[in-house]
Amino acid sequence: MKILNKLFILLLFHSASFSENEINLSLNSDSIWRGMTQNNGEPTIGADINFSLENGFSSGAWIESCCSETSSFPTREIGFYAGYEKIFTENLAISFNYIGTNYPNSKIDNYDEIELNFSFYDFEISYFKGLDDFPDYYELSYSYDFLNNSVFFSYGDFDSYKNDNTSNGSNYSFGMDSLVKDFTFSFFYYHFNANGLRDMDDDGVVFSISKKTSF
């Protein structure tokens, strides 16, 4: 899908009266995507904006000062999403999103996905259907909230990219978020296991601080 079509979808949602809007700014010690560093251990700055309607529809966009690990070495990532969530009970919901991720000045790293997410109590199961031969991805996550803190764990696995068995891999991470006044402090450990290319195995600890503002 071309950029203009993506912007059209985002603006279509903006034409409605949103019931909940927020902006989030973050400073991160690295950018981690599904267990893999995108910035070679260097700090990044990110921002995202999200719009939600009472009927379950939502949209948003983000930008981050990365990603030196992508094949064309762009200096930032820009993305958008648009989707819908159906809440059945307090502890049961399902959602789907169309997600587009773009790297300026790159044509080979851009990708689109369709996400299907099922949440039950503190567990979530997510399936990302890659478009245009981009690999599918599966993830199981768990989070537990106490006081102003949240501990979390996730495990994810890739399908092969274009039927190349050396291109897939799995990852897990665990960490904690802590809300202090208007700021969220986060840290987590991540590990990526490349099924085919061992030199792509990766692990580390990431710290971040973020601030969310509603409007």
CATH number for the domain including 71?
A: 2.40.160.40
Q: Is 23 helix (H, G, I), strand (E, B) or coil?
A: strand
Query: What's the angle, vertex CA 34, arms to CA 196 and CA 146, rounded to 5?
Result: 140
The beta-strand segments (E) located in 44-181 are 44-52, 57-64, 77-89, 92-102, 111-120, 123-130, 137-146, 149-158, 169-180
Per residue in 139-155, pLDDT tens?
Answer: 999 999 999 999 999 99
State how far the Cα of 110 lies from the Cα of 127, in Å rounded to an integer: 19
**What is the pTM for the complete model shown?**
0.87
State how far the Cα of 47 lies from the Cα of 177, in Å rounded to an integer: 18
pLDDT value, residue 4? 44
State how far the Cα of 159 lies from the Cα of 173, in Å rounded to an integer: 19
Per residue in 23-62, pLDDT tens?
Answer: 999 999 999 999 988 888 899 999 999 988 888 989 999 9
Total number of domains constituting the chain? 1
What's the one-letter identity of residue 127?
Y
Low-confidence ranges of the chain (pLDDT < 50): 4, 8
* Domain hosting residue 76, numbered range: 3-214
pLDDT value, residue 67? 73
Residue 39 contacts residue 69 (beta carbons within 8 Å):
yes
